[in-house]
Amino acid sequence: MGTYSAYAVLNDKENTSWSDGTTEDVYVAWRIVKADYYMSAVAWDYTEPFEWDGTTKTVSLTGLPEGVSVNSYKGNTATDVGTYSASAVLNYQWWNYNKPEVPELNWSIENLALALEQTQNAEAVATAYPNPLMAGTVLQVEIGEEHGANANVELLNLSGLQVPVTIEKQNGAYIISGLTRPGVYFVRIFTPTKSIAVLKVIVK
- pLDDT, residue 113, reads 58
Q: For 117-126, what is the mean pLDDT?
A: 56
CATH number of the 116-203 domain: 2.60.40.10
Q: Please say if the pLDDT value at position 171 is more than 90.
A: no
Q: Please say if the pLDDT value at position 36 is more than 80.
A: yes
Percentage of the chain exceeding pLDDT 70? 88
Q: Please say if the pLDDT value at position 161 is more than 70.
A: yes
Q: For 134-153, what is the mean pLDDT?
A: 77
What burial letters (b/e) apply to 129-143, b meaning 16+ CB within 10 Å? eeeebeeeeebebeb
Q: Name beta bridge partners: 199.
A: 187
CA distance 83 to 182: 33
- pLDDT, residue 173, reads 82
Average pLDDT, whole number, for the chain?
85
Measured CA angle at 73 (ends 103, 99), to 5 deg: 50
CA distance 61 to 157: 35
